[in-house]
Every structure is written in structure tokens, then in C-alpha cells.
């Protein structure tokens, strides 16, 4: 069974950088798959942030592209999200997800990130 687990700080300061890692088990990030990040807020609902292919190719949501970096670490079987220049609007539940033929078939439990001083 594929499992994903997000980790990272739950509280970050405005103008700072959010850094989250997604540990993958039951699958390898080196396989022929895309791996994605999605966030959710009551105001905006579900928002796709971006994704990374096993070879490092990335695809970002244009609304966040200037602030986002997604990377992959095959040796640790995980992938990561960095989002900079944070504001309160970035407060959200962040999910890491495996992409299956374009759809999101396995999700992490999610982690709440609050942007506040």
C-alpha cells in the first residue's frame, strides 16, 4: 500500500519560506510517476500547487510559480516543497499526492501550515 507523509514546521512567519517534505513508502519516487502538492483552505478550496516527475521535470501553477520550488530526492525516496514570500493567504492544509494517469490516487494525511508572526 502506497503511503505518503508530510513533515515540516506548522508555523512560519510572514515573508518567510515554507519547507515541507513528503516521505513516500510502498512506491519509489524513481518510478515513472509524477508527484504533486495540493493545498486546501476554506476560502479557496483545493488548489494544485505543482508537480515533479521522477527525472526532475517540474510543472507549476502559474499563480504560484514565481514563489514555488519542488524537488525530488531519490536516495531518501521523498520529494519537497518550498514556497517563499509567505503571507497569511498561504495558511492552508498542504497535501502531497501521487499522480496516477493524471489523477491524484494517493494522498498524505495533510499538514496545517499557519503563516503568522
Partner 1 sequence: EIVLTQSPGTLSLSPGDRATLSCRASQSVTSRYVAWYQQKAGQAPRLLIHGASSRASGIPERFSGSGSGTDFTLTINRLEPEDFALYYCQQYGRSPWTFGQGTKVEIK
Binding site for partner 1 (CB under 8 A): 45-48, 59, 61-63, 95, 100-105, 107-110
How far apart are CB 2 and partner 1 at their closest, in Å? 11
Residue closer to partner 1, measured from CB, 10 or 117: 10
Whole-angstrom Cα distance, residue 6 to residue 35?
Answer: 13
| 16 or 69: CB nearest partner 1 | 69
Could you give the CA distance from residue 39 to residue 113 in angstroms, rounded to a whole number?
10
* Whether the Cβ atoms of residue 52 and residue 44 lie closer than 8 Å to each other: no
* In the complex, least distance from residue 88 CB atom to partner 1, rounded to whole angstroms: 21
- Report in angstroms how near the CB of residue 41 gets to partner 1 at its nearest: 12
Tell me the three state secondary structure of residue 65: helix
Taking the complex as a whole, how short is the minimal distance between the CB of residue 91 and partner 1, in angstroms? Answer: 17
Its sign, for the CA torsion 74, 56, 5, 107, is: negative
Considering the complex, state which of residue 10 and residue 102 has its C-beta at the smaller distance from partner 1: 102
Nearest CB to partner 1, comparing residues 16 and 64:
64
Whether 82 and 17 have beta carbons less than 8 Å apart is answered as: yes
Amino acid at each position: 500500500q502506497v503511503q505518503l507523509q508530510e513533515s515540516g514546521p506548522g508555523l512560519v512567519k510572514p515573508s518567510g519560506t515554507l519547507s515541507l517534505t513528503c516521505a513516500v513508502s510502498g512506491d519509489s519516487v524513481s518510478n515513472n510517476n509524477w508527484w504533486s502538492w495540493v493545498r486546501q483552505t476554506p476560502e479557496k478550496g483545493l488548489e494544485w500547487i505543482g508537480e515533479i516527475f521522477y527525472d526532475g521535470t517540474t510543472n507549476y501553477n502559474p499563480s504560484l510559480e514565481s514563489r514555488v520550488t519542488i524537488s525530488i530526492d531519490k536516495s531518501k525516496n521523498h520529494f519537497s516543497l518550498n514556497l517563499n514570500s509567505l503571507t497569511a493567504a498561504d495558511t492552508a492544509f498542504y497535501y502531497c499526492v501521487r499522480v496516477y494517469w493524471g489523477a491524484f490516487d494517493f494522498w498524505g494525511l495533510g499538514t496545517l501550515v499557519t503563516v503568522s508572526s
